[in-house]
Amino acid sequence: MKAFILPSIIAAVAAEQAAWGQCGGSGWTGETTCVVGYTCQVSNEWYSQCVPGNAAPSASTTLETVVASSTAAPVPTKIAAAAISKADGTKFNIDGVTKYYAGTNSYWIGFLTNDNDVDNIMSQLQSSGLKILRVWGFNDVKSIPGSGTVYFQSFSGSTATINTGANGLQRLDVVVKAAEKYGIKLVINFVNNWTDYGGMAAYFSACGINSNEQWYQAAKCQTMYQNYIKSVISRYRTSTAVFAWELANEPRCKGCATSVLTSWIRKTSDYIRSLDSDHMITAGDEGFGLAGDGSYPYQFGEGINWEDNLALPNISFGTFHLYPQSWSVSNSFGNGWVTAHAKICQKLNKPCLFEEYGVTNAADHCPVESEWQKMSLAAKESGMAGDLFWQLGVTIKSTGQQTHNDGHTIYYGSSDWKCLVDNHVKNIG
């Protein structure tokens, strides 16, 4: 794309859309004039966006900017329309079929170093009928690890360096290619709220901050983050394996006004849309901040207003997670949690993805989680579009060792797998 401008202060704007914001499209009722330096460009029938160009100047606009040096134009799509996963009302359409879909999560698959292991896992997913796999598209470090250790981005001093080598994004290339081969669709996210695999905290020293809450509003952090986003999207922009781009894993802004996260989600999703006019975009949050029983998950203390965020024009579907033990609620809490989100998705006519869920006690895996699956599937006519259990467990073929068991792991071929995968896929039909 052309050099982009990230506004940090926009004041006294009269009837003008912000940089990278939506400015037109079928059904659009918002502003159609862009701020100074931007012009409204048509992407497709449904979406036009404010991009750098010769827009007429406006004396009433004050704009403070940070410029990232990038001159490459967005890569044109080469994907057949039928191969692009998309939202179809409150359902997902994959490969031309609109229905409810099941899948899982694997944070670790992009860090495997044996191509055949990745291929074998994708083959197992295909044979099981699981269609969506959520993977970590990030792996950030603050110092270069030992030889052969996989990492995707490193920070040193005030700079960030993206690793495109054999122990870098080429490992994610293997995952994408295997997904293409077996028809698996990937949710790829860009940063972690938590410190696992670096997360937002890996950026702190490089951009002069000390908290996640500051990270969302620090212009230098956001420039680095957007540069990383651009690098990943440019690699897989035309892949048939991409289901959706995800802003972060479980973003939170504890104690913040909800406007902080809503503004960040808007700016980031608008930026992603400027790079890719085809694929879906989602926030990746846990679903906090909505009307309910007043218990912690329904509260707004983590800086999230779920409905406001889902209503943003470039957020394609909503995500929510469920971990009763971590949230100090009962297992039965899950049924109401599913239906509360489905209700909002139905209201906004966007799909809901039950993106992570699990209980720690192995004896509860089948009886508890299968009930949540049934509730989600039952709500497919009122907002629910799919579910991804946390997390995938397999035996690595090259080593004979099992992948990480965090207490929630469901291993391929186990009795829990038969309950939560085989039976669930059969029920979906």
Give the catalytic positions in this structure.
250, 356
Start-end of H helices in 111-163: 115-128
Q: What is the distance between the terminal CA atoms of the chain, rounded to a whole angstrom?
A: 42
Buried b (16+ CB within 10 A) or exposed e, 186-211: bbbbbbbbeeebbbbbbbbebbebee
SS3 content of the chain, % helix, strand, coil (to 5): 35, 25, 40
120, 138, 153, 228, 269 from 169: Cα distances, Å: 20, 9, 9, 11, 22
DSSP 77: P
Sheet architecture: strand order including 22-24? 22-24, 47-52, 38-44
Query: What whole-number distance in Å separates Cα of residue 246 and Cα of residue 234?
Result: 15
Residue pair 397/116 in contact (Cβ under 8 Å)? The answer is yes
Q: Residue 277 burial (CB < 10 Å; 0-12/13-18/19+)? A: middle
Query: What whole-number distance in Å separates Cα of residue 189 and Cα of residue 359?
Result: 23
20, two tokens: 């990278």
Residue pair 127/202 in contact (Cβ under 8 Å)? The answer is no
Angle at 245 between CA 284 and CA 316, to 5 degrees: 75
269, two tokens: 């999703």
Phi-psi category of 197—alpha, beta or left, where left has phi over 0 and alpha has psi -120 to 50?
A: left
Amino acid letter for position 36: V
Give the three-state DSSP class for 201.
helix
Residues 6+ apart with CB under 8 A from 117: 396, 397, 398
Number of Cβ within a 10 Å radius of residue 266: 20
Give the three-state DSSP class for 39.
strand
Residue pair 138/150 in contact (Cβ under 8 Å)? The answer is no
